[in-house]
A = this chain, B = another copy of it.
Amino acid sequence: MIPDGLLLPQPSQPSLSEVVLKILREMISAGQFKPGQHLKEAELATALKVSRGPVREALTQLEAEGHVELRRHRGAFVSTLTRVDVEEVHTLRTAIERLAAERACTRMGEPEFAAMDAVLEKMKAATRPVKPEDAVRLDLQFHDIIYAACDHQRVQRVWTSIRSQVSFFLHTRNVNFPDFTDVGYPEHLELRNALSQADPAAACAAVEKHLSGAYERLKKLDLPDKPV
């Protein structure tokens, strides 16, 4: 018998598709490609030293995540995120995060709250001014815990599909208005406290309040009105 979990946490070497996906996702989120830019399979393939197959698979996944638009026989074009997209992501996120919180609040135990508190501690302790990427990372880490705790594969999947867009928006905002310092910690703490009541209705309300606050700040960004 093998000691439990000795060689197991070896997530079976990621496939090339996954590697390529991660790289491209990161590059797009970081704004390395211009919106509207044509991503050519062959170009990316040679640049990444792989063949077109894995690149192709990564691109279809990126389409599902809303980062690129796939046009038949034309290829992949980086999406230009408009204020309509901000609204869509916000409303969809609210819908699923309400559900996630409802379920999570009665399922979270000691370890989950400990993980949350660790993140909260980092938010409080972060040296001002907080770097945008750190702020975004902590913010998402906090919400990831809720989604993980809600124990709902399909909700988890939807969250994954909008997560990097949320990341993009948060990043843009934090670059333009670096006030995460002030609102980040208290607002998340409030949400944590609501969750610890283990009352679905309360958790739901807290999520709505939290997200609508974030959305209000997000709307201050000036984004393109229409895709060119």
- Taking a contact as CB atoms under 8 Å apart, the answer to whether B57 and A12 are in contact is no
In Å, the complex CA distance between A158 and B66 comes to 12
State how many angstroms separate the Cβ of A149 from the closest Cβ of chain B.
Answer: 15
In Å, the complex CA distance between A74 and B172 comes to 41
Chain copies in the assembled complex: 2
Q: Does A202 count as interface, using CB distance less than 8 angstroms? A: no
- Taking a contact as CB atoms under 8 Å apart, the answer to whether A88 and B57 are in contact is no
State the interface size on chain A (CB cutoff 8 A): 25
In Å, the complex CA distance between A110 and B174 comes to 43
A92: contacting residue among B57, B64, B94, B99, CB under 8 A: B99
Which residues of chain A (60-105) have a CB below 8 Å from chain B? 60, 64, 66, 72-73, 88-89, 91-92, 94-96, 98-99, 103
- Taking a contact as CB atoms under 8 Å apart, the answer to whether A92 and B154 are in contact is yes
- Taking a contact as CB atoms under 8 Å apart, the answer to whether B92 and A158 are in contact is yes
Q: Does A127 count as interface, using CB distance less than 8 angstroms? A: no
In Å, the complex CA distance between A152 and B66 comes to 13
A88 in contact with B153 given A57-B60, A95-B99, A98-B95 (CB within 8 Å): yes
A12: contacting residue among B66, B72, B95, B98, CB under 8 A: B72
- Taking a contact as CB atoms under 8 Å apart, the answer to whether B88 and A99 are in contact is no
A95: contacting residue among B95, B153, B162, CB under 8 A: B95
Q: Which 9 A-B pairs have the closest CB atoms?
A: A95-B99, A95-B95, A88-B154, A92-B154, A12-B72, A158-B158, A95-B96, A88-B152, A91-B99
On A, residues with C-beta under 8 Å from B are 12, 15, 57, 60, 64, 66, 72-73, 88-89, 91-92, 94-96, 98-99, 103, 152-155, 157-158, 162
